Amino acid sequence: MENLYKILEDKYGISKEIYNFVDEAEKGLKKDFENRKIISQYNQVKILKAMQNQKLQSTDFNWTTGYGYGDIGRDKVEDIYADIFNTEDALVRPNIVSGTHAISLSLFSLLNKGDHMLSISGRPYDTLQKVIGIVGQEKGSLKEIGVEYSELALKNGSIDIQNIDEIIQDNTKLIAIQRSTGYSDRKALTIDEIREASDYIKNKFPDIIIFIDNCYGEFTEMYEPTDFSADIMAGSLIKNPGGGLAYSGGYVVGSKDIISRVANRLTAPGIGKDCGLSFGMTRQILQGLFIAPKVVEDAINSALLFSRVFEKLGYKTIPKSTDKRSDIILAIELKDPELLKSFCRAIQESSPVDSIFTPEPWDMPGYEDKVIMAAGGFIEGSSIELSADGPLRDPYTVYYQGGLTYYHAKIALMNVLKYFI
């Protein structure tokens, strides 16, 4: 261990005090790390078996040009996703540019003028607010086309099931649940919480579509929302399921009828899933998916270590290091804009790519406040890679996520602590 400390001191100027502080916090997390292994192994079995079930072959990595007719690998990817997420069908495409795009695509496919959309996980993530029309005057929002919207606030950080009936309307067509925190002060909703709410809704209102924003949540627990009552779920390939290898893309999983509608929206009615290039990404998408459980395990272990260390320093972390986790995001209330900037700059300095640059707050599209983002990853914007960001607004919370390897994240934490110890 002394040799490890010496190289950290020589290469990064990490003090013995910081090294020992992190080492002591890490020792207290051994049981938590063992529990994460069980979840990771379960998801690894699930993914391996899905690839075998769908008879994945090396020739599936070939691809076509033009319209994309006959792209067997593209179709195989979607069959594998449907198998893993226990749904009838899936749409997995590199030209879905983000998680917000996958969610927006889903909502516009299912909602029409006069329909009512209800969020029962409180106010959605910042970028989705403009899609819905809650803020801004964006052309083509759901509000502009005549979709009604309302939301039910969380109660003590959980879905307020007792009051769902009161806010459901005669024209409520879709109920949305955001699993992860977004830029909020709550922990992610667990699978058990989502299951309880969705089962309740389906039992009383079977015709209402239950939509899950699953961004940042994949493979953090043994089960996914679509294993139970959820009708449709969406996420991003440059978060958990891409394993840090997918260049771009998003996914939507659900029933055949729902996916047909979403595919028609992505391309055109009558074309649907039959066209669309994979751009040679089939190998990266599936290889990233294959290693995703281990990558997610390391990302959560690093979040646990960051959480335990900052709790010892007296900061509020969400979730706490002792809470059950259902996404990879850790929020740390820093209460100081300069500490928020310092945290992000230390993460950037610790990155394998673009470590020479200094992140600064900027007017990021889709956000109301200036946002500072540290993301020196191999894939730009990849939230499963080591990254940190936060809006410049009180209480100046930094949102830490990702880490392709636990050891890289541990080094980054020690570099961050130079600004705090």
* Per-residue model confidence as pLDDT tens digits over 164-192: 999 999 999 999 999 998 777 889 999 99
| CATH for 11 | 3.90.1150.60
The model's confidence at residue 1, banded by pLDDT at 50, 70 and 90, is low
Q: What is the pLDDT of residues 355-374, one digit of tens each?
A: 999 999 988 776 778 999 99
Please indicate, yes or no, whether residues 150 and 170 belong to a single structural domain of this protein.
Answer: yes
The CATH number of the domain where 209 resides is what?
3.40.640.10
Total domains, the chain:
2
Note the pLDDT of residue 310.
98
The mean pLDDT of 125-148, rounded to a whole number, is 91
| pLDDT, tens only, 8-32 | 989 999 999 999 999 999 999 999 9
> Residue 377's domain spans which residues?
2-43+292-419
* Same domain? 261 vs 156: yes
pLDDT tens-digit map of 296-316: 999 999 999 999 999 999 999
Both structure tokens of 71 = 């792209």
| 35 pLDDT higher than 90 | yes
Average pLDDT, the chain: 95
Do 141 and 34 share a structural domain?
A: no
> What are the φ and ψ backbone dihedral angles of 254, each rounded to 5 degrees?
170, -160
pLDDT interval class at 2 (50, 70, 90):
low
**HEC profile for the chain?**
CHHHHHHHHHHHCCCHHHHHHHHHHHHCCHHHHHHHHHHHHHHHHHHHHHHHHCCCCHHHHCCCCCCCCCCHHHHHHHHHHHHHCCCCEEEEECCCCCHHHHHHHHHHHHCCCCCEEEECCCCCCHHHHHHHCCCCCCCCCCCCCCCEEEECCCECCECCHHHHHHHCCCCEEEEEEECCCCCCCCCCCCHHHHHHHHHHHHHHCCCCEEEEECCCCCCCCCCCHHHCCCCEEEEECCCHHHCCCCCCCEEEEECHHHHHHHHHHHCCCCCHHHCCCCCCCHHHHHHHHHHHHHHHHHHHHHHHHHHHHHHHCCCEEECCCCCCCCCCCEEEECCCHHHHHHHHHHHHHCCCCCCCCCCCCECCCCCCCCEEEECCCCCCCCCCCCEEEEECCCCCEEEEECCCCHHHHHHHHHHHHHHCC
Domain co-membership, 336 together with 259 = no
Asked if 251 and 298 sit in the same domain, the reply is no
Q: Are residues 21 and 56 in the same domain?
A: no
Regarding predicted confidence, which is higher, 119 or 363?
A: 119
Same domain, 273 and 310: no
Q: Are residues 92 and 149 in the same domain?
A: yes
Identify the domain boundary among 272, 288, 304. Answer: 288
Residues 252 and 373 in one domain: no
What pLDDT is stored for residue 366 in this prediction?
66
| Euclidean distance between CA atoms 154 and 350, whole angstroms | 36
User: Looking at the predicted structure, is the pLDDT value of residue 279 above 70?
Assistant: yes
Task: Verify that 171 and 245 share a domain, yes or no.
Answer: yes
pLDDT at 386 over 70: yes
- Final residue in a domain of this structure, among 239, 265, 288: 288
Answer for the pair 370, 362: CB distance below 8 angstroms, yes or no: yes
pLDDT higher than 90, residue 97: yes
